[in-house]
Structure 1
Amino acid sequence: MNIKTYLDSTYLKTAEQAGLSESENEIVVKGFIQEAIDEDFKLIMIRPNMVALARKIISNANSRVQVGTVIDFPDGKSSIEAKLNEAIQCIQNGADELDFVCNYEAFIRGDETLVKEEILKGTQLGLEHNKIVKWIIEVAALDDLQIAKLSALIKNVVIANFKEEAYEAVFVKSSTGFYKTVNNLPNGATVSSIKIMLENASPLPVKAAGGVRTYDEAVRMIQLGVKRIGTSGAKAIANGQASSSQY
């Protein structure tokens, strides 16, 4: 198994979150981009304001590493129009993959109409531009039944509106890695949440993000059926080591 083809090497901290200046944080981002090139990871996942930088570095290196970014991150509360505008800007800057944060709070409130509309319009925008689209459902904010229902909702919107050949380009993704849990409970992918997602999102692929910190954990997720793993410890995992990263 070439585990690197499953790994989305991820750095999503703002300068403030990292306790760095903007210029220092950009140096960190550049390091992650270069590492993804050197290690031949599937993708580098960075904030929207770093997309153009990543595209330039990767193009100059003649690398096949893809550029992914997050939309309406990390809360997912913005209007559909705001989500789409941010996604368009990222596409123009060279993003290959768009990881939208689903408005999971609206879902919890019972506003499925809003959620269905943003899934439809965001997916439509991405597919029209030949991009991979992922919908982050934030499993730590949901109970098991909600994980199942939101995964199925996304699947049903895609099946109802897009051709079968598009299914592999629309993922259901577990987590942002930034959700604040109580009592130090996991805020990312767990085996139990991923199993529920896989059962209810199929035939859409699933991405496990957050909480995967060792090679063995990554292999377990792949054996369960996930197609991608988001981690800021991609190099450590690929080398069979444990990552000290919190994501």
Structure 2
Amino acid sequence: MTTEDLAHMFDHTFLKPYATKDDFKKLCNEAKSMGAAMVAINSEPVRLCKELLKESQVHVGAAISFPLGQTTLSVKLAETKQAILDGADEIDYVINIGKAKMHDWEYLKKEMQEIVTLCHENNVICKVIFENCYLDQCEIKKLSEIAKEIKPDFIKTSTGFGTGGATIEDVRLMKEIVGQEVQVKAAGGIRDWQTCLAMIEAGATRIGTSHSLNILKEYESIYKHQV
């Protein structure tokens, strides 16, 4: 894997509530310089980041119902639609986690179907965030089975705002269930190359992290040393 290949797996992330215009300029410049797949931001600054990235191949990704997932489906759809109108190329939405704990699978299936359909009708990539730290293995498996049927582009482990982030075991389980039908994004707590590598080996094809630059530098240092 080249450095460029690795960089293109990163969703370069800044989702802090105190983010300013200068933070977004810095984020977008970093993403362009490394050739990241996407900048991961909240939905309000989508228009700004789309302008900042207009002459690059870096996508703008909007986080929807972030980080709790506890908004109605109609609100999630409205936020998704607005983000797309503002220029979002990708959508990362948080499921209704409480519904998952209640095993209301029909609700979650409807939620996923409607948001995925809206995204795909607009040629926008859709990622479904499970927030695995609050779920048991059976619940993760069931959500993955629903995703395999509905076919979002990705299922994602975490927001990075919960009580835990991505784990190798969860990534492996999710990938085992969805197979080649859906990709897996690992996010939350990925701060170094060894952790990143473990997620990739477990089946992740996108990595959500605010430590993209440091991971790339570490990877380049190791690679050059081995050469």
Flag whether TM exceeds 0.5 (same fold).
yes
Question: SS of 1:46's equivalent?
Answer: strand
Residues of 2 paired with 1:68 and 1:190: CA distance?
23
1:84 is aligned, of 77, 86, 90, to 77
1:100-140 deviation per Cα after TM superposition (whole angstroms, max 9, x unaligned): 10112111112111111110000000000001000000010
Report the RMSD for the aligned CA atoms in angstroms.
Answer: 1.3
Mark the runs of 5 or more structure 1 residues left unpaired by the alignment. Answer: 16-21, 159-168, 182-186, 242-247
Note the C-alpha offset of 1:93. Answer: 0.6
Residues of 2 paired with 1:12 and 1:114: CA distance?
27
Report percent identity of matched pairs: 35
Specify the alignment match of 1:174 in structure 2: 157
Residues of 2 paired with 1:146 and 1:196: CA distance?
11
Letter in 1 for 2:193: Y
Specify the alignment match of 1:184 in structure 2: none
Note the C-alpha offset of 1:174. Answer: 0.4
1:28-59 deviation per Cα after TM superposition (whole angstroms, max 9, x unaligned): 12211111011111111111111001000111
Letter in 2 for 1:103: N
Counterparts of 1:88-107 in structure 2 under 5 Å? Answer: 88-107=81-100
Note the C-alpha offset of 1:153. Answer: 1.7
Specify the alignment match of 1:39 in structure 2: 34
TM-score normalised according to structure 2 size: 0.91
Note the C-alpha offset of 1:210. Answer: 0.8
Specify the alignment match of 1:57 in structure 2: 52
TM-score normalised according to structure 1 size: 0.84
> 4+ residue stretches of structure 1 with deviation over 2 A?
none
Residues of 1 paired with 2:170 and 2:118: CA distance?
28
Specify the alignment match of 2:166 in structure 1: 189
Question: SS of 2:204's equivalent?
Answer: coil
1:71 is aligned, of 64, 71, 89, to 64
Note the C-alpha offset of 1:213. Answer: 1.2
Question: SS of 2:44's equivalent?
Answer: helix
Residues of 2 paired with 1:113 and 1:43: CA distance?
31
Mark the runs of 5 or more structure 2 residues left unpaired by the alignment. Answer: 220-227
